């Protein structure tokens, strides 16, 4: 079981929603915490609610490799090596893929996928060098399992975060670094207003903001899970070293039905040339995958 007390944590998208819930939960466990967010005003408001000397704010665009490296240096200079990383920052465009532009792709994927990639590439080498083990939580979504027409780019990014995390979980086990994928559903946050922080250089082809839809989404998010509830559930998942942290149990039945649908798409075909050799190879591959997943269970 991971010991939180005294560790330094870096939480992207940490100023509201899931992020601030994680921040509060970590502080309660005796961690030193950096709230990393692109909005300085949101960081200031978050810090004003926290009566704790072991928290700092750092403004950063997670889509920028250089900015992430600078933020890491700043945090570690004040709080020491980061051994708890939460790649949580995310944005959304509530539209279909065919209604999207290349700039839409660059923006959403830049934050939702390149953000976790940049977090991993920035901090993992430092964590390995420090030799103190640690933990990484990458925020995917139930939208990383359940896809419909909209939001197409968001679905794409969150499915990809799952693949990144599962691979990383296996490769980092030998370094005593755990990896979990957080898959939340509706949370009380401001992701519905993502357009407010869209960079001007990525506005080419952007559709006008549908303010009526934003208003409807705000009403839905108002009864989303409280940040403090999800924050505690994240730490609970880390203590158990679970691969997936499903914070919203109301999705369990739907996900089970979805897997039944996947399985129903397998068909029995007659053996083709090469089948037997492929089966032997797949036995070897499957055992190596099973061994890696088993080792990851005991990394922490």
The residues annotated with a catalytic role in the active site are 154
Q: Which residue has the tokens 């709230």?
A: 35
Phi, psi of 156 (to 5 degrees): -60, -45
| Contact criterion met (CB below 8 Å) for 74 and 60 | no
In whole angstroms, how far apart are CA 252 and each of 57, 145, 245, 248, 259? 36, 11, 12, 8, 11
**Cα distance between residue 176 and residue 13, in whole Å:** 25
Residues in the chain: 300
Assess contact for 24 and 31: CB atoms under 8 A: no
Rounded to a whole number of angstroms, the CA Rg of the chain reads 20
Cα separation, 278 vs 281, in Å, equals 5
Residue 111 to residues 61, 119, 129, 242, 268, Cα–Cα distance (Å): 8, 11, 27, 25, 41
* Cα distance between residue 44 and residue 92, in whole Å: 23
Q: Would you say 54 and 33 are in contact if contact means Cβ atoms under 8 Å apart?
A: yes
Long-range contact pairs involving 249-255 (C-beta distance under 8 Å, separation at least 24): 250/185, 251/142, 251/146, 251/185, 254/146, 255/142, 255/145, 255/146
């Amino acid at each position: 079981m991971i010991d939180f007390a005294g560790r330094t944590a870096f939480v992207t998208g940490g100023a509201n929603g899931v992020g601030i819930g994680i921040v509060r939960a970590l502080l309660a466990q005796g961690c030193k915490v950096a709230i990393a967010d692109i909005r300085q005003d949101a960081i200031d408001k978050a810090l004003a609610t926290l009566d704790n000397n072991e928290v700092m704010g750092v403004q950063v665009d997670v889509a920028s490799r250089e900015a992430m490296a600078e933020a890491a240096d700043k945090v570690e200079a004040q709080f020491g090596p980061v051994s708890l990383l939460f790649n949580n920052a995310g944005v959304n465009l509530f539209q279909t893929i065919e209604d999207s532009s290349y700039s839409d792709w660059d923006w959403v994927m830049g934050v939702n996928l390149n953000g976790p990639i940049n977090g991993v590439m920035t901090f993992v080498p430092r964590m390995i060098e420090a030799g103190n083990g640690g933990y990484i939580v990458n925020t995917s979504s139930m939208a990383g399992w359940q896809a419909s027409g909209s939001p197409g780019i968001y679905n794409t990014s969150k499915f990809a975060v799952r693949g990144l995390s599962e691979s990383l979980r296996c490769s980092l086990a030998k370094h005593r670094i755990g990896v979990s994928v957080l898959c939340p559903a509706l949370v009380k946050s401001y992701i519905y207003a993502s357009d407010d922080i869209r960079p001007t250089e990525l506005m080419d082809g952007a559709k006008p903001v549908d303010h009526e839809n934003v208003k409807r989404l705000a009403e839905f998010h108002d009864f989303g899970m409280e940040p403090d509830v999800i924050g505690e559930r994240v730490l609970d998942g880390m203590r158990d070293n679970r691969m997936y942290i499903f914070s919203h149990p109301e999705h369990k039945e739907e996900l089970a039905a979805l897997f039944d649908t996947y399985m129903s798409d397998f068909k029995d075909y007659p053996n083709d040339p090469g089948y037997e050799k492929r089966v032997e190879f797949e036995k070897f591959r499957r055992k190596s995958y099973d061994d890696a997943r088993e080792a990851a269970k005991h990394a922490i």
